[in-house]
Structure 1
Amino acid sequence: MSNLKKLAGQTAIYGLSSILGRSINFLLIIVYTQYLSKESLGSFTSIYALIGFMNIVFTYGMETSFFRFATGKNLDSHRVYSNSQSLLILSTLLLGSGLYLLAPFLADWMDYHGQAYLFRWTALILSFDAILAIPFAKLRLDNKAISFASAKLINIFLNVALNIVLIILFPQWIESGLISDGFLGYRLDWGVEYILLANLFANGLIIPFVWWKAGLFSFRLEKTILQPMWTYALPLLFMGLAGVTNELVSRLLFEYILPENFYPGLSSRGAGGVFGANFKLAILMNLVIQAFKYAAEPFFFKESENKNSPVIYAKVMHAFIIFCSLLMIAISVNLFWLGPMVLRSSGYEAGLFIVPILLMGYLLLGIYFNLSIWFKVTDQTKYSFWITLAGALVSILVVWIFVPIYGYMGGAMSTLLCYLLMCILCFYFGQKYYPIPYQTGKGLFYLILAFGLSYGGFYLSTDNSVLDFFIKNALIIPFAVLIFIWEKETLKNLVKRRG
């Protein structure tokens, strides 16, 4: 019992730092949409999508490999730590230097002519992230949850503080005469540059703290240790690339596939900024899924030895669908005021109509996480790679075909269809190898009804905002009543157990 309590406590700490970080980064979009141009937001969207891809390349699965081999009975964990950190430092020097030198070519290729410095800073951000990966993993391995969370939170608050100073305060100080124009090389025409610089300095400043807390390592590259680690990590690299493609490909490619002047008065990069900003609103659903994953993953594995585990998994899935369907409706019907509150400048509301689709896409991602328990408890994780790869191919194909025709809608559909296919494939193979008695018919009905109410509530409008609020939110009632009627016995049992 004490071990379970310890696990629950550490899970809460890790979850808090991760979810708080995502929440604060979500709130930064308020700053970006109010103080930066849509073109800067477009640059932010595409460059950070590139960073997401390259993060996988720079770490190439070594973090997971470190966990696997550092906990092995036949290897000294400190030797594994020293070797894996040494290899990652060496590979980071090579990859980071290569990207740094290729910055002018990359800037031209991505249509950032004369802005090679953006990709030099990107190379440094990726390098700092990579050399922190193994020390962060060691903190988790050593059960130093407080140190791990502290480092993450310091990084978050440094990043936020630097964003506020560089994007909000410096221009105000220049305007008021408190500091002169050009102070410390400050440029009023920069936008995404300050997002990157804030990220760069925040990451760089925590390196000494994380290395100190993780402990010293000696530089060594032992073939007997690294060769099996590399063999283990390589499939994870491709799995990670496929997974991040599903998540980021629409944002990376959007501005390059969208025809110029598709949206009158808006450049393709500006339209990419609108698309990326509205994508952030859907991350509200992803935050819930992230919190659920932290709580559910240890629970799923703990219950795997229980003979009734399939029934338990089915109940968890059903409860997840009900809760997230309600959340999807609640967010969608309130976008008329949530959107302007978060997206502070005019023009961003043109992309709000894609948010319900993106919310459904993330909900399907959460369903996929529930479904994926079958290959985790049966050690058939090879299916994860093929299912994720299929999703990635669909993502790319939909973006390539539909963005030039439907713009924002095409980008949103790539997320929805990708995760829908992954759910279908995972459900099919799961029921074949590890049958779970999901309430499939009822679950599908809830999802379809919730999606319909979400879009209906989004488009329903009167001339009175107060009346809009009550009418739109009233759409939650029929869904809640239906749940109460259909799930009456389950709710009664839950109340009895608590009593």
Structure 2
Amino acid sequence: MSNLKNLAGQTAVYGLSSILGRSINFLLIIVYTAYLSKEEVGSYTSIYALIGFLNIVFTYGMETAFFRFATGKNLDPNRVYNSTQSLLLTSSLILGSFLYLGAPLLADWMDYPGQAYLFRWAALLLTFDAILAIPFAKLRLENKAFTFASAKILNILMNVGFNLILIVAFPYLIKEGVIPDGFLGYKSEWGVEYILLSNLFANGLIVPWVWWKAGMFRFQLDSEIIKPMWSYSIPLLFMGLAGVTNELISRLFFEYLLPENYFAGLNAREAAGVFGANFKLAIFMNLVIQAFKYAAEPFFFKKSSDKNSPLLYANVMHAFILFCTILMVAISVNLHWIGPLFLRKPGYEEGLFIVPTLLMGYLFLGIYFNLSIWFKITDKTNYSFWITLIGAIISIFVIWIFVPIWGYFGGALSTLSCYLIMSIICFVYGQRYYPIPYQTGKALLYLGVAFMISYFGFYLDFGSFLMNFLTKNSLILLYLGFIWLLEKNQLKAYFRKKSV
């Protein structure tokens, strides 16, 4: 139990920074939907989907490899850090240069003629992200959660600040005649451009500070370290590519698969903006998973040699499912006011019905992360590639078939289906090679009941806001009561131990 409390404490710190920081960042969707056109929001959705995909290429699994080798008994963590950071710095500069030079071709391919500069900025942004990955990982490994958290929050605050200045303040000041149009080269017709520039400025400014806090590295490409790390990380690269395909492909290709005039009054890129904005509402689940991942990954590796680690991993999974299903119900039943609060212009609420499905999809992503510990600590990372490749194929198949038929729901279904199948496959093989006593029956019951309550609460409507709010939120209490019925013996035993 002390191990669970330790993990919960670390997750709380990472979660505070992740939830606070990303919640601040998430508020930008209010700005984007209020000040930018649906077409600009659609551009933001597809370009950032591409950035998310390429981010995996730029880091190619080295973050997880760093944790694995820096915690090894026979290697100096500083040597591992120097070699890993030196390798990523070199490779990111090379990859960034290729992308920068190929920006015109990419702009034409994605239907952004004459806007190659967008993809040049994306190349710089990806380079900054890559050279920050290992310093951030080192802070996590050394349990410097508060330093990690402060750096993340500072980065996000700068990003938000630049967005507000460029998208809100400048247009207002120009309209009021305080500053002239074209002030400092400002272009009023730009939208997604200022989103990218804000992100680029914020990431570039944070690099020196993070490097200093993590400890400056010595450039060193040690083949004794890099060669085995490379062998370990390459399957993780393909896993990451397949995984990010599952994560982002629906947003990347939504506008290209949607038939013209599918939605009345919206072109395909505008519909992609609606889809991407509603996808953002599932961020609440993603925040929890990200915070958990920050704390759990180094924790799992450190505990891997403990003979009781399988039971520990099972308890972590159970607690994770309980918490996340409660969160899913709470968000879903309150979408009647959360949606309009964040999606400021009319028309975006048409996609709200996909949010419970997306929340469940992200929950299975978290389950998959828990399950994946078996191939990470047994060095069977090649399985990760095949599992995520299957997930990617399913994701592509579902979006290709169902977006033209079901529109928004087809995109959401691709997220849920791929993570569900990946979790099933990972569980089956994991129990063969590294058995963990998961409470599978209970887990499936909680997932099924929570999903049904989520959609029931979403569609429940009495016409009155107060009546809806009270009735819908009573379903959260109903679900908590259901959990208590199944868990009361374990909870009573836990509290008896604490009182002794």
**TM-score of the aligned structures, taking structure 1 as reference length:** 0.90
For 2:80 and 2:36, the matched residues in 1 are separated by: 45
Tell me the amino acid that sits aligned with residue 204 of structure 1. G
Aligned position for 2:122: 122
Aligned position for 1:291: 291
Aligned position for 2:107: 107
Deviates more, 1:433-442 or 1:169-178: 433-442
Aligned position for 1:494: 494
Deviates more, 1:7-16 or 1:365-374: 7-16
Deviates more, 1:483-492 or 1:392-401: 483-492
Q: Deviations over 1:10-55 (max 9, x none)?
A: 6655454344333322222122111111111111111111111111
For 1:488 and 1:142, the matched residues in 2 are separated by: 37
Deviates more, 1:350-359 or 1:2-11: 2-11
For 1:71 and 1:480, the matched residues in 2 are separated by: 39
Aligned position for 1:401: 401
Displacement after TM superposition at 1:384 (Å): 2.6
**Any conservation in 2 of the 1:334–1:472 contact (CA below 8 Å)?**
yes
Q: Deviations over 1:392-429 (max 9, x none)?
A: 21111111111111111110000110111012112222
Q: Please state if 1:166 is matched with 2:166.
A: yes
Aligned position for 2:258: 258
**Any conservation in 2 of the 1:19–1:290 contact (CA below 8 Å)?**
no
Aligned position for 1:278: 278
Aligned position for 1:176: 176
Displacement after TM superposition at 1:369 (Å): 2.7
**Any conservation in 1 of the 2:399–2:414 contact (CA below 8 Å)?**
yes
- Percent identical residues: 71
Aligned position for 1:455: 455
Displacement after TM superposition at 1:157 (Å): 1.3
Q: Please state if 1:32 is matched with 2:23.
A: no
Deviates more, 1:434-443 or 1:113-122: 434-443
Deviates more, 1:301-310 or 1:360-369: 301-310
For 1:118 and 1:98, the matched residues in 2 are separated by: 15
Aligned position for 1:192: 192
Aligned position for 1:56: 56
Tell me the amino acid that sits aligned with residue 39 of structure 1. E
Aligned position for 1:338: 338
Displacement after TM superposition at 1:462 (Å): 2.4
1:220–1:370 Cα change, 3 Å: closer
Displacement after TM superposition at 1:281 (Å): 0.8
Displacement after TM superposition at 1:121 (Å): 0.9
Aligned pairs for 1:7-86 (under 5 A) are 13-69=13-69, 80-86=80-86
Q: Please state if 1:412 is matched with 2:412.
A: yes
1:273–1:4 Cα change, 3 Å: closer
Displacement after TM superposition at 1:138 (Å): 4.5
1:82–1:303 Cα change, 3 Å: closer
1:345 counterpart SS class:
coil
**TM-score of the aligned structures, taking structure 2 as reference length:** 0.90
Q: Deviations over 1:327-373 (max 9, x none)?
A: 21221111000100011111110100000101111122222233334
Displacement after TM superposition at 1:431 (Å): 3.0
Aligned position for 2:471: 471
1:17–1:236 Cα change, 3 Å: same
Tell me the amino acid that sits aligned with residue 322 of structure 1. L
For 2:130 and 2:375, the matched residues in 1 are separated by: 29
Aligned position for 1:484: 484
1:475 counterpart SS class:
helix
**Any conservation in 2 of the 1:328–1:450 contact (CA below 8 Å)?**
yes
Displacement after TM superposition at 1:57 (Å): 1.3
For 1:85 and 1:290, the matched residues in 2 are separated by: 22
For 2:66 and 2:160, the matched residues in 1 are separated by: 31
For 1:436 and 1:3, the matched residues in 2 are separated by: 17
Tell me the amino acid that sits aligned with residue 426 of structure 2. C
Deviates more, 1:451-460 or 1:16-25: 16-25
Over the aligned positions, Cα root-mean-square deviation in angstroms equals 3.0
For 2:65 and 2:100, the matched residues in 1 are separated by: 27
Q: Deviations over 1:179-229 (max 9, x none)?
A: 111111212221111110001111111223233444445555565554444
Deviates more, 1:144-153 or 1:23-32: 144-153
Deviates more, 1:402-411 or 1:483-492: 483-492
Tell me the amino acid that sits aligned with residue 39 of structure 2. E
For 2:6 and 2:367, the matched residues in 1 are separated by: 28
Aligned position for 2:209: 209
Deviates more, 1:352-361 or 1:214-223: 214-223
Unmatched segments (≥5 aa) in structure 2: none
Aligned position for 2:364: 364
1:58–1:433 Cα change, 3 Å: closer
Deviates more, 1:485-494 or 1:329-338: 485-494
Displacement after TM superposition at 1:272 (Å): 0.9
Aligned position for 1:383: 383
The total of aligned residue pairs comes to 499
For 1:121 and 1:93, the matched residues in 2 are separated by: 14
For 1:120 and 1:342, the matched residues in 2 are separated by: 30
Q: Deviations over 1:226-282 (max 9, x none)?
A: 444433432222122122112111111111111222111111111111111111111
Tell me the amino acid that sits aligned with residue 183 of structure 1. F
Tell me the amino acid that sits aligned with residue 482 of structure 1. F
1:62–1:180 Cα change, 3 Å: same
Deviates more, 1:309-318 or 1:33-42: 309-318
Tell me the amino acid that sits aligned with residue 241 of structure 1. L
Aligned position for 2:320: 320
**Any conservation in 1 of the 2:68–2:301 contact (CA below 8 Å)?**
no
For 1:291 and 1:84, the matched residues in 2 are separated by: 23
1:301–1:400 Cα change, 3 Å: same
For 2:415 and 2:233, the matched residues in 1 are separated by: 27
**Any conservation in 1 of the 2:140–2:294 contact (CA below 8 Å)?**
no
Tell me the amino acid that sits aligned with residue 162 of structure 1. F
